Amino acid sequence: MSSTFRLEPEVGLHPDQGRVRLRTLVFIRWMAICGQTAALLIAHFGLGLELHLVAAFLVVLTSGVLNVAQVATRPASSWLRNKEATMALAFDLIQISLLLSLTGGLTNPFSILILGPVTVSASILTRRSTICLSILAIVAVTANVFFYLPLSWPEGSFFLHSLYLYGLWAALVFTAIFLAAYVSSLTEEARSMGMALVASQMALAREQKLSALGGLAAAAAHELGSPLGTMLVVAKEMKEELPPDDIYLPDVELLISEILRCREILQNLAAWPEEDGGDPYNFMPLQSLVETAVVPYEKLDIQTLIEAKAREDSGAEVNGEHLMVERSPEILHSLGLFAQNAIQFAKEKVEISLVWDKRTITLTIHDDGPGFDPQVLGRLGDPLLSSREHAQKALGKKTLTSKALGSKNQDRRKEEDGDHMGLGVFIATTLLSHTGGKVTYSNHESGGALVEIVWPRHRLEVAPQIA
């Protein structure tokens, strides 16, 4: 089985989607302008500090001009893309840096505000954007160590000791690095987890819709069976009463054939998902549930073996048909995903074993493919492995040969599925956990990947339904 899992296009989320509204950044910038203006006026007229007010207010004015220009050129409710938001925060960072250089550099008590744009980026933008802004902040902090206009204190010139100044520089630099490396990582993980949970909900909703359709089809087949039987009896009686040369005889024969066709269609609908939701069609043997999930992904060139049995000396029923469970969209979607990938990456055979005792139900899926790559085996279930770059690195694409993978086709399929690395298995693991299942991933001793799912028996088994 591959360590890559499919994700349908509709749940894919583009990394450059809008993350912040223009209105939000404009509002924050207006607040900063008000705060900067108040600080300059209080420092100059209230505290008696001699400041270069004209130059400082020109720097503040640039922020106001940018705000007005942005609001005039696009709706305030529009979403800024990642690149646009990064450029806006970079401007704010440079503006604060210039303002600090005119008002004492790092000796200004408000020098900590130079990390404000980096903090905003770490909370809403991508890690790459945060790293870029952090580098820009480090450059700005370093420039303010050497190039700044000292503040004129009322008692005379005041200079911080160079050791303290360098210490303050180091603190700001390390804080910028911390924001880029740690905070942005936590934010990216939370964002990826949220995206993956949305994907899980959409997958489950899709499966539940299929269940509803299946239940409707089964109910229709059940309810329409009697009227069609009556129509068939009446049509046959009409045929028997008509003479062989009657002009209506072909029409009656056509009517009989169409009734038989309708009956066959309804029988197929009832047989297709008689377990697809709705009483009394919502319950089925456990082995049939597994087969329902696996059959759509079977291939002629891959042998798929499904074995169901009770564990020896467990006292449980030997026949899998006696173990009735509720048709679960979560289980169907998850087992279908595991089966699809096992069959896709198997060389010749996929073995699915279903074993139960009085307390637990265990399902294992083992294929004879290349198995899970050791680099990602411990991270399966983590939705962060979603980019092609991470997938190729995790799969060791540059070091694995086609012989190790089994064939060139397997290598090509792995590359095609690289974009969805990890998210599919996260969805499956999350959905199965809702049913009480615990999933473990490993490589089999004889080779190939092994997925094991264990449920408490009382979470799945239901009493047989009597029609």
Question: 153-161 contacts: CB < 8 A, separation 24 or more?
Answer: 153/49, 154/47, 154/48, 154/49, 158/107, 159/107, 160/106, 160/107
Which segments in the chain show pLDDT lower than 50? 1-16, 273-279, 318-320, 386-421, 466-467
Per DSSP, the three-state class of 20 is strand
Give the per-residue pLDDT at 460: 84
Average per-residue pLDDT for the chain: 76
351 within 8 A of 386, measured Cβ to Cβ: no
* pLDDT, tens digit, 9 for 90 and up, residues 372-388: 888 877 777 666 554 33
Give the per-residue pLDDT at 139: 93
Q: How far are the Cα atoms of 50, 111, 113, 170, 217 from residue 147, in angstroms, in the given order?
A: 18, 14, 18, 17, 77
The model scores a pTM over 0.85: no
| Euclidean distance between CA atoms 31 and 410, whole angstroms | 56
Per DSSP, the three-state class of 426 is helix
